[in-house]
Structure 1
Amino acid sequence: MNEYAPSELNEDAAEVYARDGIVCIRQAFSPSEVEFLREIAAKDMAAPSKMSEDATREGSGRFFSDTFVVKHIPELSRIVEDSSAADYASKLLQSKKINLIFDQFLIKEPGTSTPTVWHHDQTYWPVAGDQVCTMWVALDPVTKETGAVEYVKGSHRWGQRYKAESFVDKDRYKEDLPPVPDIDSMRDDLDLIMFEMQPGDVTVHHGLTVHGAPGNSRNDQSRRAYVMRMAGADVTYDPRPNLQPMLADPGIPVGAPLDSALFPVLRQ
C-alpha cells in the first residue's frame, strides 16, 4: 500500500516510504490551501523571480519552473511554515527536525509536449544524507494525459547516484556520475507506480528515487504543481561544482547542518 490519508501517516507508512521511496497522501491540503496556491502560481507566472526557467524543449506548449518562490513571494510562508507539509515530512522521514531546501512551481501548460526526463533529484543539490525528500502538491487533476509522474519503486536503494540532466541546458551539469539507465527499456523488470491525483493530493518521494513524466497532452487542462524539497536531521551541506543554481550562498561550512536563512528550519 502506497496511499494514505493524513491521519494514517504512522510507522507503517514510514516503513513503506523507506522501502519504496514513494508514497501518496490523499487530500493532504485543503481546498482553500489549493486555491491559495493556484493564486500564487498565477502571480508568480505573471512576474517570475530571477530563479525562473522555461524548461520547454523542442515542441509545443510551455513548461514553467521557478525555485525559492517563498523568498520571492513571502505570502507562501502560509504553506511552507504554517501548513501540515513539514509535519507530513517529519512523519515519513522519521525526523523531528525538518529543513526546507527550496520550494518550486512546476507547471506544464495545456499542450506541452516536453517530458520530464528520467532522473533523481538529490544529485542536483548541494546536500548529503538519506533524509531528503520531495513533496509534490497537485493543484489540478493529474492523469497520465496531463503528465502524471511515474516512480521506480526501490530505486533509491540501488546504491547508485546518477548524473543530473538539465531540463534547459544539456551541458550544465558535469559531475562525474553515470547517466540514468534506459528505464523505458527496463519496464518489464522494474516495479513502477503512477498516481492519478486530485487537487490537494501529494506525493512524497526520496531524493534518490528515479522518476519521470510525459508531457501534458491535454489542450484544456494545465498540470500545476507546488513542490517542497525538504531534509531531515541527517542531511548536511555538500556543495559541488556545476549544480542547480541556489538563490544565495548559505554561509555554512561544508559538512554542517543545513540550518541557515537559505535552508530554514521548519520543525525542530
Structure 2
Amino acid sequence: MKQNRFGTVSAEDAAAFDRDGVVCLRNVLTPDEIEHLRTAVRKQMDQLGVSATGYDFEALARQVWDTSKPVETGGANRFDMQAMKELVLSDADSRPLLEEGEASEDGLFFYDVAAWKRDTGLREVAFDSILPSIAAELLGANYVNFWEDTTFVKAPHTRQKTAFHQDLAYFQIEGEQCVIVWIPLDPANSENGTMQYVRGSHKWNETYAPNVFVSQTPIASSPEKRCPDIEAYPHKYDIVSFDVQPGDVIIHHVMTVHGAGGNPSDHWRRAVSFRYCGDKIRYRDRMGAIQQVGVTHKLRDGDRLFASDYPMVWPKPWPGLLLADLYQQPETMTGSGD
C-alpha cells in the first residue's frame, strides 16, 4: 500500500476522501483507546437528568410532537427546548423522523458534548492517538486544532432518526479545512443506525442551515438555506454507509451532508465524534451556530484558533509528548472531574 508523506493514510483513502467527502479507515484505534472512550461515555450517561449538557433526543422528540405537554429536560439547560418545539410545530414541512415499528418507551437517543475538558481518557484519544495526524494529512494542514467532541448514543429500540444535515453552520468557524471523525464504540450497521453520507455533497458549493436533529426544521437564526429533504427522496442522492467495528473510524468533510437511521435492533450503538480544524480555518461568530460549552476565549472574527479552548494537537513539539497530560482544566469546568 502506497503511503503519504505522514505515513498515516493510504493514497487510495486520501483520494476517496477528496472525491467522496467521506472515508472509512479500518483498525485505527486500539482496544485501550476504545475503552477510554466507552468509560467517558458511561460517565456522561450516568449524569443524564442532572447534567446541564446531556439530552435524550428520543424523549424530546416525543414531547415535541405531543402538543398537550411542555418540554422537560431535567437539569439540561444548554438549549431552549420549548422554543425548539414551537419552531418545529410552526414549520409546515416538519414531520417526525422515525423508523417503522410500534411506539416504545425503551428508546434513548443520548447527546452530550465537551467530555474532553474533564475526562483524561477521552482527551488522550483526541490529542495523543493517531487521529490528529490523520486529520492533518486529509486536510493538507500545516497544523491542526481540536475543536470539540460530541457523544451520540442510540439504545436498542430507538426509532428516532438523525435528520440529514451539514456541519459547517453549527460551528463558529470560517473555511472548509475541517473534518469530523465518527468513532463507533459498538459494531454499527444498517440495522442499528450507522451513519449515512451523501457522496460528493462537499462539492455542492452550498452551505445549509443547522437543523434540530429530530426534524429537518432549520434553526431560525441561521441565514443559510434549508438542507434538502433527503429523507423524503433518498433515491435522488448517492448515499453511502459503512459497516464498522470498534477501532474503525469514519471521517467526513465539514461540508458533507449526512444523517443516521434509528436503532430498532436489540443492540446498542454508542459513538463519539471529534472535530479537527486546519491552519486555514478562522474564527467566525456565525449566526445560528450552536454556542459551545465553557469557552473562555475572546477571539474575534478572522482570528486563528489560537486559544486554550482549541488546543493545537498536531504537530507535537517533539515526538512522544503526551499533550493530554498538559491540559489545564479551566475554573469553569471545576467540579466535573474524571
Q: TM-score, normalised by structure 1?
A: 0.91
Structure with greater contact order relative to length (CA < 8 Å, sep ≥ 6) = 1
Stretch deviating more after TM superposition (72-81 or 18-27)? 72-81
Q: Give the deviation of 1:249 after TM superposition.
A: 4.5
Do residues 148 (structure 1) and 150 (structure 2) align?
no
Q: How does 1:10-159 map to 2 (within 5 A)?
A: 10-47=10-47, 49-56=51-58, 57-58=61-62, 60=104, 61-159=107-205
Stretch deviating more after TM superposition (29-38 or 129-138)? 29-38
User: Within 2, Cα distance between the matches of 1:171 and 1:19?
Assistant: 28
Residue 197 of structure 2 aligns to a residue whose secondary structure is strand
Give the structure with the higher percent strand: 1
Residue 260 of structure 1 aligns to a residue whose secondary structure is coil
User: Within 2, Cα distance between the matches of 1:160 and 1:173?
Assistant: 18
Q: Which runs of 5+ in 1 are unaligned?
A: 1-5
Amino acid in the other structure paired with 1:179: R
Q: Give the deviation of 1:177 after TM superposition.
A: 1.7
Match of 2:240 among 186, 193, 213: 193
Q: Give the deviation of 1:7 after TM superposition.
A: 6.3
Aligned residues: 262
Alignment check: 8 A CA contact 1:173 1:243 kept: no
Alignment check: 8 A CA contact 2:36 2:121 kept: no
Corresponding position of 1:224: 270
- Aligned CA distance change for structure 1 residues 124 and 173 (closer, same or farther; 3 Å): farther
Stretch deviating more after TM superposition (59-68 or 183-192)? 183-192
Q: TM-score, normalised by structure 2?
A: 0.73
Alignment check: 8 A CA contact 2:8 2:133 kept: no
Q: Give the deviation of 1:210 after TM superposition.
A: 0.5
**Larger Rg: 1 or 2?**
2
Deviation sequence 1:64-99 (CA, Å, 0-9, x none): 111111113233221111111111111111113111
User: Within 1, Cα distance between the matches of 2:214 and 2:260?
Assistant: 16
Do residues 207 (structure 1) and 209 (structure 2) align?
no
Residue 215 of structure 1 aligns to a residue whose secondary structure is coil
Identity of aligned residues (%): 32
User: Within 1, Cα distance between the matches of 2:269 and 2:52?
Assistant: 22
